[in-house]
Amino acid sequence: MRHRLRDPITGLLFVLPMLVLFVIFRFVPSLGAAGLSVTDYQLGGSWSFVGVTNYARLFDDPIFMGALRVTIVYVAIYVPLTLLVSLGTALLLNSVIFMKGIFRSALFLPYVTSFVFAGVIWRWMYEFDGFINGLLAKIDLGPVGFLDDTALVLPALATVSVWKGFGYSMLILLAGLKSIPSSYLEAARVDGANAWQRFRSIVLPLLRPALFFVIVIETIGAFQAFDVIYVMTGGGPSRASYNLIYALYDQGFGNFNVAYAATIGIVLFVLVFIVSMIQRRLLDRSNT
């Protein structure tokens, strides 16, 4: 028995520090947030149990419903765009013969930069006298108020987030492409399959586990977007970029209504969990 338990116990000892940190800084705060959501606690004040009152209040709150709509629209823009850019660059890198490391490093570089730094730079680029409008002016299309137009602000923010974060997903998909046996593609090429047929019938099915991981991770990240919004728009204009995380921040650190902020967090967690389960089912659980 001791011989059989030696390896599991050894493995547990190696992961124990991270497991302790996870319990202290992730699991316990999550339980605390769930407990706060059924109270009327405000920072520095007394509290009492109120049951599901906070949850009922959410769906009567036009600001929360607006933040929910903004979040869903942002996710719907960001995730497909990130997947398209990541997969496209991964396919290009997979076909590169010379200087692979240089190209990978250059494309991955934005991922390791500060989101605050990226937000400041892109805010300048989006300004009326910025770089992008300067280019548009040369073809008589500018200026465009990317961050001042309620219809353009979410696509503009999503573009910045894609530029900042696609490198990680690109590497995951590139690793998935490298794991596909070249003999499959060569056999299809011999049988007369063109590039699109090989991609659709061989690459995509074998890449499904990596795609599932990327879609889930990027979806969770899109639901939790905050840095780029805080730096570039502050939730504006007219709350057009005021998402759930910004509403949570506003309630918790602006109004000091901790219980209501915790309620928003729990609803966001449930929403992300449901979306992740739907994605898992759509991508075929048996193959992921």
What domains, with CATH codes, occur in the chain?
A: 66-113+152-287 (1.10.3720.10)
Q: What share of the chain has pLDDT > 90, as a percent?
A: 59
d(C-alpha 108, C-alpha 204), whole Å:
23
Tens of pLDDT, residues 67-100: 999 999 999 999 999 999 999 999 999 888 788 7
State the pLDDT confidence band at 113, using cuts at 50, 70 and 90.
confident
**C-beta neighbour count of 71 within 10 angstroms:** 23
pLDDT of residue 173: 95
Average pLDDT over residues 108-124: 90
Residues 6 or more apart whose Cβ sits within 8 Å of residue 140: none
pLDDT score recorded for residue 288: 45
Q: Cα–Cα distances in Å, from 256 out to 45, 115, 240, 259, 264?
A: 10, 26, 23, 9, 14
Closest by CA to 106, choosing from 84, 121, 120, 89, is 89
Q: Is the pLDDT of residue 286 over 70?
A: no
Q: CA 271 from chain center: how many Å?
A: 14
